[in-house]
Amino acid sequence: MSAEFLVGANAPHCMDRVRPRLWPYNPASSPVALPEVDVLYTPSEVVPLTAQTTSAPDDVFDLDALRSWAGTLQDDQGARLGDLLNAEGAAPLDQRRPFLLLGELANPFRLASLQAEAVPILRVRLEGLCRTWTDSQDARHIQPGLHHVTLARTPGWWEDAHLGLLSPKEMKRFTMWLSQDRQGDWRGVRVAEGGLRLEHAPLDPPAIEDVTWDGSVERVERAAPAPTGAGIDLASVMVPVHARRGCYDHRGRLARCVHLPQRAFHEGVFRRGSARDWSDVLDTLG
């Protein structure tokens, strides 16, 4: 089987079914490649999903509405997501909660290595929030270690991300995997700023030159592309953050994943700055 992956706004917005172990993955360039359409990861294959109706940008989905909309997703044979989960013997949608899959937890190869149960993965848009690198290394798969992805505020920012619908058991297990089975390194939080919405079209993030810095705050002044999907109530979404060392502080600025891929970050930036505590870069609900 083969798969097509989006590499830009002009690439075809589609993919074929593919076995998870054949999904592109290299720890030196983690987390790419990531799904560019909604998919259902299963231990045997990654199944592209199609929405029967697009969500309205003016809507804001709470947990029940998000589950209901996800239930309308179908595979290429017309089977609905709920039926696909049932066929896998996996937890139904009404027992799943949204969990932001930052970094390689959205990569099907990594999910296969974790022996994950079936995971619906939805494309979403971050608003006012960016993916950035942690000031730590995970040496379990490569030396001296790969950097995991965390979240930080940037006013005016937007970019693609991935939202998994997970059972509470899997949410805890994924967080502990990030922590390398050490209590307290990573924790799940609910974000109290920025926005999250479903994304139904290709989306290019701001360029480096679009980010301004006044010596204290970075922001994007350029207008964001028009939204294509419904907003998601952030209070219902769990986000894993590095609770001990936060994110990397690049001399007062953030090292955003879309501008500094894993290898470029590690070889050209890492160790030339310091750590920034996660509570300084992200407001969370109590």
CB 274 within 8 A of CB 135: yes
What's residue 240's pLDDT? Answer: 92
Amino acid 97 reads R
Q: How far is CA 109 from CA 13, 24, 27, 161, 236, in A?
A: 21, 7, 11, 17, 27
So what's the pLDDT on residue 43? 97
Residue written as token pair 């970075």 = 218
The pTM (predicted TM-score) of the whole model is 0.90
Which of 114, 116, 113 is closest to 39 using CA atoms? 116
Amino acid at 91: A
What CATH number belongs to 20-281? Answer: 3.10.490.10
Task: Tell me, rounded to whole angstroms, the distance of Cα 187 from its chain centroid.
Answer: 16
For the chain, domain boundaries: 20-281
Q: What is the pLDDT of residue 32?
A: 79
Asked if 133 contacts 257 with a C-beta cutoff of 8 angstroms, the reply is: yes
C-beta separation of 227 from 197 below 8 A:
yes
CA distances from 237 to 93, 134, 166 (A): 15, 20, 11
Q: What is the block-wise mean pLDDT of the chain (286 residues), using blocks of 10 residues?
A: 32 69 78 91 97 90 97 96 98 98 92 96 98 73 71 96 97 91 86 96 95 94 96 96 77 85 70 70 86
**Helix/strand/coil for 85:** helix
Rounded distance, CA 4 to CA 246, Å?
34
